[in-house]
């Protein structure tokens, strides 16, 4: 992208967030270049990128906007989980720390492949599920809404794959389909072509650590999208869901390779 495109996106973002005055054009440029944002996404998501760059930089004016416009949506986003207020607050604290503090702030992984609100919502769902799965007391307070689906799971791994494998594949196919062209290319290079991190880094003219960070972020986004889709459609308790997820998650990388090779 050229300087004019970058400046236009910066001005557009500043127009959308007039109370955020602390972000400089150079800091915005660094954020966009580090995330390898595609030119089309730069223009389409200029406002989201502007807020993400400023909030990731720890600027107070941007953090206030981030809290007030995005994290304020947590109760609505998490309503499906029927969490107690204190658990929602715990999700908020952990999510805020991950996204804005780090180190490094996870907001640096936002690549504008979709709306920032949707990206933060997925991160919130992932954090909430992790908290529930790690705490049996919280899990026990959630209502399943259905009869228990999974019992004696250690002896029934193949049955679980057979019963829920199609839904898993559909969820993963949908998640891969929503990736940006660059992200799909990165996955093809890594999973299908078998290129090393160094080889991919030379292709994009970046450090291998940057490629590793990109791939980790893409994989995490795919995992989250599939987890949320499965949990939402099955409507089971987090304990039951964790057992199901443990049974199918090992298939993710193989399934990614097959999906990309077939496209």
pLDDT of residue 236: 60
Report DSSP state, residue 191.
I
Confidence of residue 32 (pLDDT cuts 50, 70, 90): very high
Confidence of residue 248 (pLDDT cuts 50, 70, 90): low
pLDDT of residue 48: 95
Q: Judge if 129 and 89 occupy the same domain.
A: yes
pLDDT of residue 137: 57
Q: Judge if 105 and 196 occupy the same domain.
A: no
Q: Judge if 131 and 189 occupy the same domain.
A: no
**Per the confidence metrics, is the pTM higher than 0.95?**
no
pLDDT of residue 156: 47
- Pairwise CA distance, residues 224 & 124, whole Å: 10
**Does 59 have pLDDT greater than 70?**
yes
| Strand positions, DSSP E, the chain | none
Q: Which residues contact 41 (CB under 8 A, 6 or more apart)?
A: 49, 111, 112, 113, 180
Of the residues 112, 136, 160, which one is the last residue of a structural domain? 136
What SS3 state is found at 17? coil
**Residues 214-238: pLDDT tens digits?**
888 888 888 888 777 777 777 666 6
Which two tokens mark 136?
């049996």
CA pseudo-torsion sign 48, 252, 241, 100: negative
- Pairwise CA distance, residues 55 & 252, whole Å: 32
Q: Judge if 125 and 10 occupy the same domain.
A: yes
Please indicate whether residue 257 or residue 62 has the higher confidence score (pLDDT).
62
pLDDT of residue 157: 52
Q: Judge if 174 and 105 occupy the same domain.
A: no
From the list 11, 15, 35, the residue with the least C-alpha distance to 25 is 11
Across the chain, what does the average pLDDT equal? 80
- Pairwise CA distance, residues 163 & 175, whole Å: 20
Instruction: Give me the number of domains the chain comprises.
Output: 2
Q: Which residue range is the domain that position 129 belongs to?
A: 3-136
- The alpha carbon torsion through 52, 221, 150, 153 (nearest 10 deg) reads -130
Query: What count of Cα atoms within 13 Å lies in the side-chain half-sphere of residue 37?
Result: 32
Angle of helix 238-248 relative to helix 157-177, nearest 10 degrees, comes to: 80
Please indicate whether residue 152 or residue 90 has the higher confidence score (pLDDT).
90
**Residues 88-142: pLDDT tens digits?**
899 999 999 999 987 889 898 888 888 899 889 888 888 887 777 666 555 554 4
**Does 249 have pLDDT greater than 90?**
no
- Pairwise CA distance, residues 122 & 126, whole Å: 6
Q: Judge if 175 and 257 occupy the same domain.
A: yes
pLDDT of residue 181: 80
pLDDT of residue 184: 83
- Residue 256 near residue 176, CB atoms below 8 Å: yes
**Does 189 have pLDDT greater than 70?**
yes
Q: Judge if 169 and 253 occupy the same domain.
A: yes
What SS3 state is found at 96? helix
Which two tokens mark 9?
């996106």
């Amino acid at each position: 992208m050229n300087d004019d495109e970058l400046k236009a996106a910066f001005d557009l973002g500043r127009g959308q967030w007039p109370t955020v005055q602390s972000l400089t054009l150079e800091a915005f440029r660094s954020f966009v270049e580090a995330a390898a944002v595609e030119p089309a996404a730069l223009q389409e998501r200029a406002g989201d990128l502007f807020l993400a760059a400023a909030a990731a930089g720890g600027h107070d004016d941007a953090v206030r906007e981030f809290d007030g416009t995005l994290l304020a949506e947590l109760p609505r986003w998490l309503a499906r989980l029927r969490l107690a207020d204190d658990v929602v607050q715990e999700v908020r604290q952990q999510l805020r720390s991950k996204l804005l503090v780090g180190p490094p702030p996870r907001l640096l992984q936002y690549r504008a492949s979709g709306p920032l609100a949707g990206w933060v919502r997925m991160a919130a769902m992932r954090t909430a599920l992790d908290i529930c799965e790690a705490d049996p007391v919280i899990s026990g307070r959630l209502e399943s809404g259905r009869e228990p689906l999974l019992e004696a799971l250690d002896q029934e791994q193949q049955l679980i794959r057979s019963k829920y494998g199609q839904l898993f594949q559909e969820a993963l196919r949908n998640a891969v389909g929503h990736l940006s062209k660059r992200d799909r290319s990165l996955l093809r290079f890594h999973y299908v072509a078998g290129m090393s991190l160094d080889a991919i880094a030379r292709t994009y003219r970046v450090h291998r650590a940057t490629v590793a960070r990109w791939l980790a972020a893409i994989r995490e986004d795919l995992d989250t999208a599939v987890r949320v889709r499965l949990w939402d459609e099955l409507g089971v308790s987090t304990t039951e869901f964790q057992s199901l997820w443990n049974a199918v998650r090992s298939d993710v990388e193989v399934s990614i390779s097959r999906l990309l090779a077939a496209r």
